[in-house]
Amino acid sequence: MVRPHTLASAAASLLLLPGAAVAEGIYSSSSPVLQVDARSYDSLIAKSNHTSIVEFYAPWCGHCKNLKPAYEKAAKSLAGLAKVAAVNCDEESNKQFCGSMGVQGFPTLKIVRPGKKAGRPAVEDYQGGRTTKAIVDAVVDKIPNHVKRLKDADYAAWLAEVGPRAVLFSDKGTVSGLLKAIAIDFLGGIAVAQIRDKEAAAVAAFGITKFPTLVLFPGEGKEPLTYAGDMKKPAIVEFLSQISAPNPDPAPKAKKAASGSADKKKAAKPASASKKVPPQASEKLTEDNAKPVGSPGPQVVTDEAHKPVKLPDVAPPIVSLQEGLSLQQKCLNDKAGVCILALLPEPSDVTALPQLARAVSVLSELQHKHAAGGKRNLFPFYQIPHANSQGAALRSRLSLPAGSVQLLATNGKRGWYKLYSSEEKQFSATAVEAWVDAIRMGEGEKKDLPSGLILPAADLPAEPVQVEPPVVPAGGAAAAGSPELDEMREKILQGMPEGMDVEIEEVTDEQYAQYMAQQKGKPAQEPIVHSEL
C-alpha cells in the first residue's frame, strides 16, 4: 500500500526530474465528457441541480487512457440525466484543486450530488467497476428522487392539490433516471408523479391504454394534456415548458440585501468544496501510471476536515463489546436492527493505532453530537476488539483485511451489511457522518450477510441485567461481607454447578450464559463461533 506521506514524497521527487511540457488532456473538445477545471468546478458541478461524476486524471496515466472509451460511452448514456466530467490534474492551475479534493492516484472518480444547501454538495468516491454499465448504474442510483409514487387510494387527492402536475403512467415498478431528472428540472414549478399500470382505477379514470404515457395537469380547471412525442428528455421538457419554465442550472444567486452586517455577508458565502471531502485514492501510483512526463501528480493538501478530531471531555467513547456473545445479542441475530460496528485490529499493530484512534474518536463525537443536541436518534455504535470471536468471524467471512480498522453497518433482521468504502480509511468526520446519513436514508448498495453469522434471537441467552452498585454512604464504604453484596452474589450464583464459586467481579459472559441456560432447562452451550465455513 502506498501511504499518503509516501505518495507526497514521490510526487515531490518528480519535481527534480527534467521533462517536456505539460501534455494536453485526453478528452477532445468534441468529447461528450464535460471539461472542468479548478475555476469552473464550482459553477458547473458543485452548484448544479443535477448529480455528476467527475474523473480526476493525468494524461500520462495508462489506466486513465484505458478508462476513456467506457467513460465517454457513459457520458452519452447519461446525457440529460447527469453530468459526466473530467479534470486534468496535470495542468498547473488544477494541481492544488486536485489535492484539496483528496486525489492521490489516477484515475480517481467521485460522485457529486446536490446537498441540502446550494453550493455544498455531497461528494463520495466511486468504488464500482470501470465499465460503462457500472458507471451509469451507479450515477443513476445517486440522482435525487423527487417523483411521487401514487396508488389508486391517493392519486385523486394528490391531483387536487394546488399547482401544475405531471403523471407518468408506467408498466415499470421503478422510477427511471429520465423521470428523476425531469422532476429536478421542474422542481417547484411542476410536481411529478408516477402511477403503475397495476393501479386499475387510476388507469381507467384517464383512459390509459399504453405504457408509458405522460399526462400534464395544468391546474386551475384546465383540461389535462397527453404527451404524444418520443420519450426523450428535450421533447418532454419542451412539452412541460408550456406550463412552467425549467429551472436554470445552476440556480441564479439570490440578490443580496442592500444593508446588513459583515457577519451576515460572511455567513452567506458558500464553503469551499475542498473542505468537505476526505482524501481518497482510486488507483495508487504504480510503474504504469507514475512515470514522469514533465510534471508530477498533484500534491496532497491537508485541510481542516482531515485533522485529527479532538473530542470534548463530555463525549464518552462508544461502547466496546468484548465478548462474542455480546455482539451476537446486540447485533448478529434475527431481531436486531442496524448497528454501526468498528472492527479493530490487533492493539500490538502500531501502524494501525492512529487509524484506530481516529475512527473511534469520530464515531464517539458523532454519537455525542446527536445525543447532546437532541437531534434524531442514531443507530447504536460499537467498537469490536480484535479478540472478540464474533468480530473475528465477521471479518473473516466478509474477507476484510485484519491489519486495519473496518467500519460497517449490519442489520440482522434484514440480513444485510454495508461497508464504509473509504479506501484509505481516513475517517474524516464529514465522510463518516455522510455515510451514516446515507444508511439512515436507505441509500447506497447493501450486501447480504453470509449464512451462519445471524442466529435466531430465541436461541441466544438473554442479555445480563445491569445491576447498579450499592450507594456508598459519605465517609464510608460497603464492606466485603455487606448484606447488599451478599444478596447480589447469591442472585448471580444461584443455580450454577457445584464448585463454580467465583467472586462477583469474575463472572464472565460464558458463565452467565451457562447460568441462563440452566434457568431455561437447557444444557449449557459452548461459546458460539462462526469463524469456519
The ranges assigned to domains in the chain are: 4-141+270-300, 148-240, 308-457, 463-471+479-533
In CATH terms, are 4-141+270-300 and 148-240 the same topology?
Answer: yes
68: three-class secondary structure by DSSP: helix
Q: What is the pLDDT of residue 251?
A: 65
Q: What is the pLDDT of residue 439?
A: 85
- Mutual angle of helices 62-77 and 132-141, in 10-degree steps: 60
State which residues of the chain have pLDDT below 70. 1-23, 251-315, 347-353, 371-377, 422-425, 463-533
CATH class held by domain 148-240: alpha beta
Does the structural domain 308-457 have CATH classification 3.30.70.80?
no
Q: What is the pLDDT of residue 34?
A: 96
End-to-end Cα, the chain, rounded Å? 29
- Cα(55)–Cα(67) distance, rounded to whole angstroms? 10
In the structure grid, which three cell numbers stand for residue 245, read together? 419554465
Kindly tell me the sign of the dihedral angle through the C-alpha atoms of 514, 518, 520, 526: positive
484 CB-near residues (< 8 Å, 6+ apart): 470, 478
Q: What is the pLDDT of residue 445?
A: 82
8 Å CB contact between 124 and 110: yes
Of the candidates 296, 421, 309, 224, which has an alpha carbon nearest to the alpha carbon of residue 7? Answer: 296
pTM beyond 0.85: no
Q: What is the pLDDT of residue 202?
A: 94
CATH class held by domain 4-141+270-300: alpha beta
In the structure grid, which three cell numbers stand for residue 404, read together? 486495519
- Cα(154)–Cα(159) distance, rounded to whole angstroms? 9
